[in-house]
Structure 1
Amino acid sequence: MEEVTIRTIAQRANVSHTTVSRALNDSPLVKAATKKKIRQLADELGYVPNLNAKGLVEQRSFLIGVFFSDLDTGTSPSFLVDVIKRARDFLPKGYSLSLDSVESLSASGNVSRHQFDGAIVVSQSKKDDPFIATLIKRRLPIVVLNRKIDRDDVSNFSTNDYLGAKKILEYAVRMGHRKFGLIGGAESFVSAGDRQRGFTDVIRENGAETRPEWQRQGNYLPESGYQAMRDILSASETPTCIFATNDDMATGAVRACQDLGYKVPADISIIGYDDMNYSKYLVPRLTTVRKPTDNIVQEGVSALTELLSDPAMAPVKKIVEPTLIVRDSVKDLRK
């Protein structure tokens, strides 16, 4: 079968190949009716754009780099999958994603304008700052998601994790809880520090109680939540509510309770953070904080898309508020 090209469509539509190219790229120079006619004809003929050829003409790779902090250890697999899925949903048609860790790219230095058209840095740690500075120095269009950064020359979309932690701990206090345990996240991650500060401030502000034996350090992965919970339950006295600082660790904590014969929330309450897709299907359904990942990724991809078209676009900075999600994993002690 003969390959269908832009010239094939142009001959059938009786227009120039330039008009076809503009129509397929949604140029405002082509009338809406002409665009519709050309697109329908392209679909009927089974036209597939040659992105490699297009890239050579426009000096584009049609590849977006997505870089995560501590991909092998600290980044939750659930969060990773969620970000990738949303980025694929929101990127313009024809673009592909390349996934890697900030650490490996920082070590190799192998990031350039020839390799990627743009980059999405999903940053968790201040250790990422030199990598972000390198991308900016190489004039690669980038957006930074997840963590609020100090510099003002790059678009940055983040969430207020301190506020989210305060919201969920204050809810537990309203439910009558006064004795709290904590399973902390990856120590180098800014989110872990922000969530722990929220925990500490609510305890202090409400005259609640926590003890060293009720606090354990995790790394945002389910296994660490499981082991931390087993350690906390081995104390001579246990708290009434545990704040696991992400849903993956909360899942591990719930399992540890079940394995040791504790019922959640009848014997001990557990709260999480992130509101991952599976949280509403756990038994019990998890009370947590909805991190607005969809919103952050959508706004970030939109800003990057505009930046690809207009490199002079002014940076956009936005902090999105998280939302308390009340389900079934917190016992009401007021009764």
Structure 2
Amino acid sequence: MTVTIKDIARMAGVSHTTVSRALNDSPLIHEETKRKIRAIAERLDYTPNYSAKSLVLARSYHIGLFFSTLSKGTSSNFFHETVKGVHSAVSSKYHLIVNAIDDYDGNFSPVTRKTFDGVIVMSQSDADESFIRYVADKSIPLVVLNRNAERISPVNVLADDRAGVFRVVEHMIAQGHRRIAIIEGKQSFKSSAARKDGYLQALGQYGVDTDPKLHVVGGYTLEGGYKAMKQLLRADPMPTAVFCSSDEMAVGAMKAIAEQGLSVPDDMSVAGFDDDVFSAFLSPALTTVKRPVETISRIGAEKLLADIERGAPSRETVYVETELVVRESVKPI
């Protein structure tokens, strides 16, 4: 026999509304009452009926996680860390639905308050702005990850990319490098601009000249990093160190260096950004900046759920610190 909320309410001596709120961790219900109701639900092996809950509470119990794109410039590790972080907060309370904004071709009408209780945007480009504005205009609870869209989004959670790149380039300078190149990410991505800003800021603060010929674009792909490094190897004089705006591009760059008969780090130092799962297992192990994508995603999801429960948006922008991870691919000159 299927156990319902009314069965739990009868045993607990409360209304079915109280049971529903308690099982959804509402702040309106006293903690002792929540514990009592949860214990009864567990004892009866109660399974939520999401369809019934949707009708009673006018909720879909769907959270939408939207990436700018899933086919261009979104690495598998970035995707995995994002979904893992959001899912750890959403858990069994909501159904998580993952989509790509560019799949909608500008027609966002399927995204409504009836289809989604809240929306998380893992933003990678200014091209997301029309979608973010659409969600905000529809008064759908909203959190933007990975870039600051505070003009239109109430809550924004992102890594301090600029500070992270500043530290890794500062580390290269401390090792004696003065001719430091950069392989940039996808030009339309905000992260690319932030990382280049950190690179330029470090060079400027330490009085190191910047050479525009050492600024090349790799587009956040292995092949892009490889081709960009090939271009840098034709520079005269060549750089002694290269900062790659992603670990994937660093791998491509290291292959191009090896094909030239040079070695990392003896002939050229290389550093990356992201601290992907493979970075510690390269030879040499890659010096990089750890971007806490999972943490950013979890924090964003937690803030969205709190706003949904409260029924009103908070307003804040949260910067999550990055971490310099020093390994073997950068050495003194």
TM-score, normalised to structure 1's length?
0.87
5 Å-filtered alignment, 1:126-165, equals 126-151=126-151, 154-165=154-165
Which ranges in structure 2 are unaligned for 5 or more consecutive residues?
Answer: none
CA distance in 1, matches of 2:95, 2:12: 33
Which is further off, 67-76 or 241-250? 67-76
Matched AA of 1:284? P
CA distance in 1, matches of 2:6, 2:57: 18
Tell me which residue corresponds to 1:180. 180
Q: What is the deviation of 1:198?
A: 2.4
SS in 1 for 2:156: strand
Q: What is the deviation of 1:241?
A: 0.8
Matched AA of 1:137? D
Tell me which residue corresponds to 1:319. 319
Q: Is the 8 A contact 2:285 2:327 kept in 1?
A: yes
Q: Is the 8 A contact 1:161 1:195 kept in 2?
A: yes
Q: What is the deviation of 1:17?
A: 6.4
Show CA shifts across 1:137-174 (max 9, x none).
11111011111125065111223322222221111000
Q: Is the 8 A contact 1:247 1:272 kept in 2?
A: yes
In 2 relative to 1, CA 176–63 (structure 1 residues): closer, same or farther, beyond 3 Å? Answer: same
Tell me which residue corresponds to 1:60. 59
Which ranges in structure 1 are unaligned for 5 or more consecutive residues?
Answer: none
Q: Is the 8 A contact 1:6 1:17 kept in 2?
A: no
In 2 relative to 1, CA 31–128 (structure 1 residues): closer, same or farther, beyond 3 Å? Answer: closer
CA distance in 1, matches of 2:204, 2:278: 32
In 2 relative to 1, CA 39–170 (structure 1 residues): closer, same or farther, beyond 3 Å? Answer: same
Q: Is the 8 A contact 1:92 1:305 kept in 2?
A: no
Matched AA of 1:309? E
Matched AA of 1:182? I
1:24 has 2:47 as partner: no
CA distance in 2, matches of 1:234, 1:282: 25
Q: What is the deviation of 1:217?
A: 1.0
TM-score, normalised to structure 2's length?
0.88
SS in 2 for 1:182: strand
Matched AA of 1:178? R
CA distance in 1, matches of 2:248, 2:107: 31
Matched AA of 2:321? E
Percent identical pairs in the alignment equals 39
5 Å-filtered alignment, 1:42-121, equals 42-105=41-104, 107-109=106-108, 110-121=110-121
In 2 relative to 1, CA 70–33 (structure 1 residues): closer, same or farther, beyond 3 Å? Answer: closer
SS in 2 for 1:172: helix
Q: What is the deviation of 1:121?
A: 1.0
5 Å-filtered alignment, 1:268-279, equals 268-279=268-279
Tell me which residue corresponds to 2:202. 202
Which is further off, 154-163 or 164-173? 154-163
CA distance in 2, matches of 1:330, 1:265: 6
5 Å-filtered alignment, 1:203-218, equals 203-208=203-208, 211=211, 214-218=214-218
In 2 relative to 1, CA 31–264 (structure 1 residues): closer, same or farther, beyond 3 Å? Answer: same
Show CA shifts across 1:38-85 (max 9, x none).
434433443221112111211111111111223321233321221111
Q: What is the deviation of 1:210?
A: 5.4
CA distance in 2, matches of 1:305, 1:208: 46
SS in 1 for 2:128: helix
In 2 relative to 1, CA 47–122 (structure 1 residues): closer, same or farther, beyond 3 Å? Answer: same
SS in 1 for 2:177: coil
Q: Is the 8 A contact 2:178 2:209 kept in 1?
A: yes
Tell me which residue corresponds to 2:300. 300
Q: Is the 8 A contact 2:184 2:245 kept in 1?
A: yes
Q: Is the 8 A contact 1:78 1:248 kept in 2?
A: no
Q: Is the 8 A contact 2:85 2:295 kept in 1?
A: no
SS in 1 for 2:332: coil
Q: What is the deviation of 1:265?
A: 1.4
Show CA shifts across 1:285-324 (max 9, x none).
2211222323422321122112112232331122333222
Which is further off, 188-197 or 20-29? 20-29
SS in 2 for 1:183: strand
In 2 relative to 1, CA 322–225 (structure 1 residues): closer, same or farther, beyond 3 Å? Answer: same
CA distance in 2, matches of 1:219, 1:269: 20
1:3 has 2:2 as partner: yes
CA distance in 1, matches of 2:30, 2:165: 52
SS in 2 for 1:158: strand
CA distance in 2, matches of 1:326, 1:43: 48
SS in 1 for 2:314: coil
Which is further off, 54-63 or 294-303? 294-303
Q: What is the deviation of 1:125?
A: 1.9
Q: What is the deviation of 1:246?
A: 1.2
Task: Report how many residues are paired.
Answer: 331
In 2 relative to 1, CA 127–63 (structure 1 residues): closer, same or farther, beyond 3 Å? Answer: same
